[in-house]
Amino acid sequence: MTQMEFPPLKNDLLLKAAKGESIEQVPVWIMRQAGRYLPEFQEVRSKHDFFSVCQTPALACEVTLQPIKRFDLDASIIFSDILVIPQAMGLTVEMVPGVGPTLPKPLEDPTDLVRLVKPNVEKDLKYVGDAITLTRHKLEGKVPLIGFTGAPWTLMSYMIQGGGSSTMTKARQWLYKYPEDSNKILELITNVIIDYLVMQVKAGAQQEIIDRTRDMVMKFGKSRYIANLGHGILPDIPITSVAAFIKGIHSV
């Protein structure tokens, strides 16, 4: 399905707020908007594993629309996961019940960098773009559609830790033990993210959320990886709202 002639947008509260324009009420959407609290989502997951839902545009569209059909929200957010990028870069990612996303073979040391590939985003992550385009049409202009990605440090941490971590000890050690190799990983991830966000917007995403961690902003906020994501990220397409979601920023 192509993005030609998307239905006109009926609720633009979120996009107006993102531009700093006057709005009549605060727009509302929910983190993990499509998720386990919905019985209809549980029904889909009983038949399909997590990443199969992410990688099947019709299923990703279906679960993205579920909360929009149930609640009076002001935006939808495409059902996907930040770890589709490490998958496209050659690493295995599994969703383990009771544990969460797990990389059974994380990067142990710089010799593992040969395992990473620079993906062709429009080919290897095409399913995300297809899900976005399909969802834009199925929304019929009711609310805008948000796309998203993890930030370089967030993704690098998962790729080294092998899963989520509150301390990110192994990833931090990489920064100090292997600074040049850490730079290589971050640069590679950054370039993939930029291609990924551009692809999402071309597919129909109307706002982009970039997940960053507080520690990355505190310690590396002036790095070129933050700058590359913050400036010139959408050079050849119409301007789209880009927001940063920074966990723990209230304590900075």
Residues with a catalytic annotation lie at 32, 36, 45, 81, 158
* 59 within 8 A of 96, measured Cβ to Cβ: no
The DSSP call for residue 126 is H
Hey, what are 182's tokens? 């850490």
Which residue is it, tokens 């990605």?
149
Distance CA 62, CA 40 (A): 10
The answer to whether the beta carbons of residues 208 and 197 sit under 8 Å apart is yes
Q: List the one residue out of 58, 72, 89 whose CA is nearest residue 30.
A: 72
Whole-Å CA distances, 39 to 28, 59, 208, 215: 21, 15, 27, 36
> Of the candidates 164, 51, 46, 55, which has an alpha carbon nearest to the alpha carbon of residue 100?
164
Say whether 96 sits in a helix, a strand or coil: strand
Please name the residue ranges forming H helices in 162-252. Answer: 169-177, 179-203, 214-220, 224-230
- Which residues share a beta bridge with 100? 96
Q: Which of 75, 56, 53 is nearest to 208 (CA)?
A: 75
Say if residues 207 and 242 touch (Cβ distance below 8 Å). yes
